[in-house]
Homo-oligomer: A and B are copies of this chain.
Amino acid sequence: MVAEDGAADALCCVPAQGDGALDAAEAAVLAARFKALSDPNRLRLLSMVSSSADAEACVCDLSEPLDLGQPTVSHHLKILVDAGILHREKRGVWAYYSLVPGALEGLAATLTRKA
């Protein structure tokens, strides 16, 4: 898993090789991010955050729509934070989540770079 700090930087620094094929290190970074996206509940949480007003959502508003307990929701959100996809900010008693700028666009670009 990619560490939270510097994860966005790591993605920015994964250039294509001259021939377009990924080397092992590049592939490991990208695979960790796609793994974070490989769970339906995490994708739904991500879409709820990104479609929220202000593109930010309180963990207190994310549990009910998925019919999951808050510990489970927090677990999934942590995986998305660790992968550098979501940003977490504690304000008062609640944690608020927003998209890390450029993270999803960076991943999308890797998919279409050579396609």
Interface residues of A (CB under 8 A from B): 19-24, 27-28, 30-32, 34-35, 37-44, 47-48, 50-51, 65, 99, 104-105, 107-109, 111-112, 114-115
Contact of A43 among B22, B38, B48, B65 (CB under 8 A): B22
- Contact check, A31 vs B39: say whether CB atoms are below 8 A apart: yes
What is the interface of chain A mostly: helix, strand, loop, or mixed?
A: helix
In the complex, A109→B112 CA distance in Å?
A: 10
The residues of B that contact A30 with a CB separation of less than 8 Å are 37, 40, 43
CB within 8 Å for A47 and B22 given contacts A99-B115, A104-B112, A108-B108? yes
CB within 8 Å for A51 and B21 given contacts A37-B31, A39-B31, A43-B27? yes
